[in-house]
Amino acid sequence: MVYKPELENLVKTYGKFWCTWQTDRGDPLPLGAPALMMSPQAVNLGMVNPELVQRRDQKYGISTPDLKEARLEIPESEWTNPNADYWKQNGKGFAIDVVPAEMKLRAPFP
């Protein structure tokens, strides 16, 4: 009930999002540069190892088949931005560097 509205919004992002808190890496707080992450899509690109999914399900008492069934009613995005896979088409992407910056109490007004 809580996550479905979020998934309905997330499905429009074509499975990409900026991550600042990589809990899978063990980050206790948002650390480091944001990373553009991609979730598995309907095609096999980026598919998760089934053994890892099974171990996750067992550890947390999750049923992947039940999750899939509950999410069937969430419609896929009707349109995908043609630049969404720029990295695949061109073999290039973007990198974000973390640099120290002076924090100002008030931003300058244009």
Q: Where are the domains of the chain?
A: 3-26+33-85
- Three-state DSSP state, 70: helix
Q: Give the percent of the chain with pLDDT over 90.
A: 15
Distances, alpha carbon 97 to alpha carbons 19, 34, 65, in Å: 14, 9, 40
**24 has pLDDT over 60:** yes
**74 has pLDDT over 80:** yes
